[in-house]
Amino acid sequence: MGNELLSGLLVASFGRQYLVETADGRLLPCVTHGKKGGAACGDRLKIRLTSADQGVIEAIEPRRSLFYRANEFREKLIAANVTQVVLVVAAVPTFYEELLNRCLVATEVAGVKAVIVLNKADLAEETARARETLQLYADLGYPVVQLSALGDVAPLRPYLAGETSVLVGQSGMGKTSLVNALLPDAGARTADISAKLDSGRHTTTHARLYHLDADSDLIDSPGLQEFGLGHASRGEIEHAFPEFRPFLGQCKFNDCRHAREPGCAILQAVADGRISRRRYDIFDKIFQPHRVARG
Ligand SMILES: Nc1nc2c(ncn2[C@@H]2O[C@H](COP(=O)(O)OP(=O)(O)OP(=O)(O)O)[C@@H](O)[C@H]2O)c(=O)[nH]1
Ligand SMILES: [Mg+2]
Ligand SMILES: [Zn+2]
- Do 70 and 47 lie in one domain? The reply is no
Q: What is the pLDDT along the chain (295 residues), one digit of tens a residue?
A: 567 899 999 999 887 889 999 988 899 999 998 766 689 999 999 999 999 899 999 999 999 999 999 988 889 999 999 999 999 999 999 999 999 999 999 999 999 999 999 999 999 999 999 999 999 999 999 999 999 999 999 999 999 999 999 999 999 999 999 999 999 776 554 444 333 344 456 788 889 999 999 999 999 999 999 999 999 999 999 999 999 999 999 999 999 999 999 999 999 999 999 999 999 999 999 998 887 754 4
| 93 assigned to some structural domain | yes
- Do 173 and 194 lie in one domain? The reply is yes
Q: Which helix (H) or strand (E) holds 134?
A: helix 124-139
**Does ligand 1 have an atom closer than 6 angstroms to the CB of 172?**
yes
Contacts of 165 (CB under 8 A, 6+ apart): 82, 83, 84, 85, 86, 115, 159, 216, 217, 218, 219
- Do 193 and 157 lie in one domain? The reply is yes
Parent domain of 260: 234-292
- Do 209 and 249 lie in one domain? The reply is no
Q: Which atom of ligand 1 is nearest to the CA of 167?
A: 19
Contact by Cβ (8 Å): 103, 173: no
Q: Which atom of ligand 1 is nearest to the CA of 149?
A: 31
CATH of the domain at 53: 2.40.50.140
| 173 assigned to some structural domain | yes
Residue located nearest, by CA, to atom 30 of ligand 1? 120
- Do 123 and 214 lie in one domain? The reply is yes
| 251 assigned to some structural domain | yes
Contact by Cβ (8 Å): 221, 69: no
Three-state SS at 125? helix
Amino acid at 153: V
CA of 141 to the centre of ligand 3 (A): 23
Instruction: Give rounded-to-5 percent helix, strand, coil for the chain.
Output: 30, 30, 45
Q: How far is the first Cα of the chain from the last one, in angstroms, to the nearest whole number?
A: 48
> Distance of CA 230 to CAs 18, 154, 255, 274, Å?
26, 36, 19, 28
Mutate to test the pocket of ligand 1, among 103, 147, 177 (most ligand atoms within 8 A of CB): 177
Three-state SS at 54? strand
Of 220, 254, 271, the domain-final residue? 220
pTM of the model: 0.93
- For the chain, the domain total comes to 3
CATH of the domain at 284: 1.10.40.50
